[in-house]
Structure 1
Amino acid sequence: MPDSEVLIAGAGPTGLVLALSLLHQGIRPRILDRAAGPGQASRAMVVQARTLRLYRPLGLAEAVVARGIRVEALRLREAEAGGTVEVAQISLRDLGEGLSPYPFALSYPQDDHERFLVERLAAAGIAVEWDTELTGFTETADGIRAKLRRKGAETEATAAYLCGCDGAHSRVRQALGLGFPGGTYGQLFYVADVRLAGPFQPDLSVNLARQGFALMLPVRSRGMNRLIGVVPQALGDHPGLGFEDLRGDVEALLGIRVEQVNWFATYHVHHRVAARFRQGRAFLAGDAGHIHSPAGGQGMNTGIGDAVNLAWKLAAVLRGRAGPDLLDTYESERIGFARILVETTDRAFRGAVSPGLGGRLLRRWLLPRLLPIAAGFEAGRHAFFRLVSQIRIAYPDSGLSEGKAGGVAAGERLPWVAALDNHAPLNGLSWRLQVHGAVSPALAVAATGRGLPIDAFPWTAAAGRAGLARDAAYLLRPDGHVGLADPRQDPGRLAAYAARHGLVFVTEPS
């Protein structure tokens, strides 16, 4: 027997959420990291609405919201003679009202986030094995044999599956011999966590400067703000570059005065996607599989999405509730999204930092004028929220996606109907049927016989506005995406779908 069913290399947000999601499914993983403990720098900041929805069945969402800071507004600034002025203010409060139970942008620094996840994992009886590095592995007929190093001592571990959540320099990816194609942007960027003179600023401030940009967002309720921007070209090769070298420019661009610097670093931004996310019994997730610009706060959230997608599929196969081919859909679904994300963030990022005429026009004229106009209409606010919140992620080409009913196609996230909170029954454990209207007796009998729960809601106009079809049956995956959308509630179609994927439905406690 293997030491563990799933071995996770890497205890950043992706690995920790994978461990918690597996545990939620009844799988006790083993998780290790070569670092001495959780990260000490804030790094990723934004927790998107889709991540909070995925956290809800794990009992994490409300605690994360309580610990984070809701970003209330976006303030656009422009340089003028003698300083900068605010040229537009866009409210971000309830930007996605009616689309999600979490219609806002949340700032929650990665180091606090990681410590919170580590504590939740420890409370469930699983301790991260710090100071432990995966140095290599081989695949056998029935599992993985991994080589580990802990404080200089070599050991071995066995597992049914290995998940590489070990970052951009992933040892798992390297051992698999997988390419990591992409590139690196030429500009040098800075990042700093600082305390400002004067009252704490909970808003996102952006100066779309002539030669790049600078932004500020809240980090911690105890008064720290994050600063990010482009290092002036004249300072790019400055040895030992520190915040004091940039202070004058940064304070002028953002209209602030920095009182204390907690953390400062410079870095280059990369955009890469691994050639594969799965090879045999080994998987890649998070930065091990994809890295891209920080535009829109997508990176950490995408890794967490990888983790949840992979966890329920591993659990289903390990427990004999699905055929092994289910694991193939992890790569097809997540690598497709990663490639699209890298492409779109690359376009946005190049526009934000380009020193050319097109970039300057975008920063200095188009965005300051068009964003406030778009934000003045519900359609504009909702389009922006769908884009950045990740709630529009869909898997239409997945082998698990079949059918369409109303405006909802298989592969899409189940639309949220605020008046009903039809996401509340989604427990992250079981496949479920959801019907808005009347459940046919034939479907009820078929579902009961298969141990498949049905969540029936009375038909409402709000459900129709959300795109749902009256009396249609939506078979929902454990992650809340629609697997089968059937406008006729055909029990035979449900049976054929389950047989095709080797699905065994087991009613789980809510």
Structure 2
Amino acid sequence: MTPLANVLIVGAGPTGLVLALWLTRQGVAVRIVDKASGPGATSRAMVVHARTLELYRQLDLDAAVIAAGHRAPALHLWAKGRQRATLSFGSAGQELTPYPFVLVFPQDKHERLLVERLKALGVEVQWQTECLGFEDFGDHVVVQLRSADGSEQRCEAAYIAGCDGARSVVRHALGTDFAGGTYEKYFYVADVQASGPTANGDVNAALNQADFVLWLGYDDQGRGRLIGVADDNSEHAESLAFDDVGHRALASVGLQVAKVHWFSTYRVHHRVADHYRRGRAFLVGDAAHIHSPVGGQGMNTGIGDAINLAWKLAGVLRQGAPDALLDSYEAERRAFALTLVETTDRAFTFITAGGRLADFVRTQIAPRLASLAYGVGAVREYAFRLLSQTMIRYRDSPISAGQAGAVHGGDRLPWVRAADNYGPLAAIAWQVHVYGTARSDLVAWCAAQRIALHQFDFGPPYAAAGLLRNAAYLIRPDSYVACADVDGNPATLQALLSRCTGHAPVT
């Protein structure tokens, strides 16, 4: 048998690669395998949202990803040939995140960057290595692998993480239900060179009588991604070419395609696994949930899964945290996936519904309401929070507690633009933030626990962000607030920390 690896990761897409990066950075040995011959050669997922970039900052990845991608500063909504509403990401998100934009970064380039970063840390992806199944022995797993030459081997690991997509071998081995359904309509994706008023660096969405197209520019010179309705129920939809699909929505916004670099059709599914964990096996990313492409949420959600799981696995394997900490992965991420699938399902159904009434609402009523709503600052901010995933929170999690100001345990730590209080979050570790003055016993407790204490001079920007003067905020390694305490009492923080680490107070 091969030497023990603490975590064996099946699947080297963005989800599996980020899981490997986070675990490696925290000192956890990993082995990552994929049956493909190398990183993907097509663009597939395109959008990197603000919350993902915030988490990438902890890996020192944000700058490299932004430099390689294209910032889309706004979303324009079109209906029947007219631009009806615009959401400026900058004006909506500039007080919420260091990354007030949507980043367009094709998945193939994204994967290659992650592979290179992982290699720099000494971990090579084992390509052309297929997972055939595994057995859970209670204190470890044994995974059956097959190499490119057909030879098979059995590999031991402390845990296995299935990051192997919608047809996950790990999920099938677990026997976990993947409830949901499949929409009737086919969609297409195409990488093209185009011209016209919408072939710019912004995001443009056009609605035209159950025809739909979304434009994501790779640059400002007309190279970009199209996503649109291919066909209703055609048995031959999978063999369609770009010239075969409806172009009404394209024509309505004056978008003219000069060259098609890549084209594919697909069916849209919406499913969530009934369990994300069984014993020593975990489902992550598309292996655990799939949904419509509305909002570009899929890859970002998988990356969020990976980071949520990584610090908990590291806590158990490296710091002696209790096994129960790993149960919070399913509690937190599955709850979010269920909400996300419901939200994207409603949006997808609205976009693709047929009939005169649906067409009228979609092309006449909805754009007018959107235009009015986008004029209200609170609505713009809400829309940006929803799209950017900065709204994700875990208030009902078993490892969240307390409230101080508007911030609850389980919330994403609010970003304060005036001082950039996210700087300390580059450390993937527990830490305490106090906006004001920390109590002397809290200072002593942090020193005894070897937890970094960061104090910020309180002022109006912190109050505007919902933070409370002199309160204590215990921050998890993934930058979410674990515990918020009005009084800054170390005993309150200790109670939550003990639940996560299993360690008794240091006296």
TM interval, short-chain normalised:
over 0.9
Once the two structures are superposed, residues 435-476 of structure 1 have per-residue CA deviations (whole angstroms, 9 ceiling, x without a partner) of 001111111111111111111001111111111111100001
Please name the residue that 2:441 is paired with.
442
Segment drifting more, 216-225 vs 312-321: 216-225
Instruction: Specify which of 120, 124, 128 is matched with residue 121 of structure 2.
Output: 124
Alignment match, 1:206: 205
SS in structure 2 of the partner of residue 206 of structure 1:
strand
Distance of aligned partners of 1:439 and 1:135 in 2 relative to their CA distance in 1, 3 Å threshold: same
Is the CA contact 1:430–1:505 (under 8 Å) kept in the aligned structure 2?
A: no
**How far is 1:41 from its partner?**
1.2
Q: What's 2:60 paired with?
A: 59
Q: Which runs of 5+ in 1 are unaligned?
A: none
Give the match's secondary structure for 2:295.
coil
For the 8 Å contact 2:184–2:233, the answer to whether it is kept is: no
What is the TM-score when the length of structure 1 is the normalising length? 0.94
Return the letter of the residue paired with 2:209: R
**Equivalent residue for 1:181, pick from 167, 175, 179:** 179
Give matches, 1:208-357, under 5 Å.
Answer: 208-219=207-218, 223-233=222-232, 237=236, 240-246=239-245, 248-249=247-248, 251-357=250-356
- Cα-to-partner distance string for 1:132-152 (whole Å, 9 max, x where unaligned): 100011012321100001111
Residue in 1 aligned with 2:49? 48
Higher alpha-carbon deviation: 186-195 or 366-375: 366-375
Residue 129 of structure 1 deviates from its aligned partner by 0.5
Task: Give, as a single letter, the amino acid of the residue that structure 2 aligns with 1:373.
Answer: L
The equivalent residue for 1:109 is: 106
Q: Is the 8 A contact 1:212 1:355 kept in 2?
A: no
Mapping for residues 360-509 of structure 1, pairs under 5 Å: 360-504=359-503
Give the partner amino acid of 1:188. Answer: Y
SS in 1 for 2:184: coil
Name the structure 2 match of 1:5: 6
Deviation at 1:377, TM superposition (A): 2.8
SS of 2:438's equivalent in the other structure is coil
In the aligned structure 1, how far is the partner of 2:401 from the partner of 2:238? 57
| Aligned CA distance change for structure 1 residues 488 and 218 (closer, same or farther; 3 Å) | same
Residue 392 of structure 1: how far off its partner (Å): 1.1
- The one-letter amino acid of 2:132's match is T
Closer, same or farther: CA 482–505 of 1 in aligned 2, 3 Å: farther
Q: Structure 2 matches for 1:122-201, cutoff 5 A?
A: 122-151=119-148, 152-197=150-195, 201=200
Between the aligned partners of 1:239 and 1:60, the Cα distance in structure 2 is: 37
Q: 1:453 to 1:505 in 2, by over 3 A?
A: farther
1:422 positional shift: 0.7
Shift of 1:357: 4.7
In percent, how many aligned pairs have the same letter?
49
Q: 1:368 to 1:318 in 2, by over 3 A?
A: same
Change (3 A) 1:462 1:235: same
Q: How far apart are 1:358 and its partner, in Å? A: 5.1
Partner amino acid, structure 1, of 2:291: H
Matches within 5 A, 1:23-102: 23-79=24-80, 84-102=81-99
Structure 1 residues 15 and 385, CA gap change in structure 2 (3 angstroms): same
Distance, in Å, in 2 between the alignment partners of 1:4 and 1:223 is 46
Against the structure 1 CA distance between its residues 186 and 489, is the aligned structure 2 distance closer, same or farther, given a 3 Å change threshold?
Answer: same
What amino acid is aligned across from residue 231 of structure 1 in structure 2? A
Counterpart residue type for residue 70 of structure 2: I
Kept in 2, the 8 Å contact 1:427–1:478? The answer is no
SS at match of 2:122: coil
What per-residue deviation string (whole Å, max 9, x for no partner) do you get for residues 10-47 of structure 1? 00000000000101111121101011111111111110
Asked if structure 1 preserves the Cα contact closer than 8 Å seen for 2:16 and 2:163, the reply is yes
Deviation at 1:504, TM superposition (A): 5.0
Q: 1:465 to 1:233 in 2, by over 3 A?
A: same
Q: How far off is 1:123 after superposition?
A: 1.4
Write the letter of the residue equivalent to 2:189: V
Q: Secondary structure at the match of 1:416?
A: coil
Cα 1:239/1:411, change in 2 over 3 Å: closer
Q: C-alpha separation between the residues in 2 aligned to 1:403 and 1:239?
A: 52
Q: Is there any run of 5+ residues in structure 2 with no aligned partner, and where?
A: none
SS state at 2:260 partner: strand
Deviations 1:191-219 (A, max 9, x none): 11111147962122221111231121113
For residues 492 and 87 of structure 1, what CA distance do their matches in structure 2 show?
A: 54
| SS at structure 1 position matched to 2:239 | coil
Q: Would the alpha carbon gap of residues 356 and 492 (structure 1) be closer, same or farther in structure 2, given more than 3 Å must change?
A: same
- The one-letter code matched in structure 2 to 1:144 is V
Distance 2:237 2:157 in 1: 48
Superposition deviation, residue 247 in structure 1: 6.7
Displacement after TM superposition at 1:359 (Å): 3.1
Give how far 1:2 is off: 5.0
- Whether contact under 8 Å (1:351, 1:358) holds in the other structure is no
CA contact (8 A) 2:185 2:233 kept: no
Conserved in 1, the CA contact under 8 Å of 2:138 and 2:280?
no
Q: Deviation per CA, 1:310-330: give whole Å up to 9, x if none.
A: 000000100134212111101
Counterpart AA for 2:79: E
Contact 1:212 1:354 in 2 (8 A): no
User: Within 2, Cα distance between the matches of 1:337 and 1:102?
Assistant: 22
Q: What is the rounded CA distance, in whole Å, between the counterparts of 2:235 and 2:205 in structure 1?
A: 21
How many residues are treated as equivalent by the alignment?
502
C-alpha separation in 1, matches of 2:39 and 2:501: 39
TM-score, normalised on structure 2? 0.95
Which amino acid in structure 2 is aligned with residue 26 of structure 1?
A: G
* Comparing 202-211 and 475-484, the one that deviates more: 202-211
Q: Is the 8 A contact 1:409 1:482 kept in 2?
A: yes
Contact between 2:13 and 2:39, CA under 8 Å: does it hold in 1?
A: yes
RMSD across aligned C-alpha pairs, in angstroms? 2.0
- Measure the CA separation in 1 of the matches of 2:135 and 2:41: 33
Q: Matched residues in 2 for 1:268 and 1:359: separation?
A: 22
Task: Give how far 1:89 is off.
Answer: 4.0
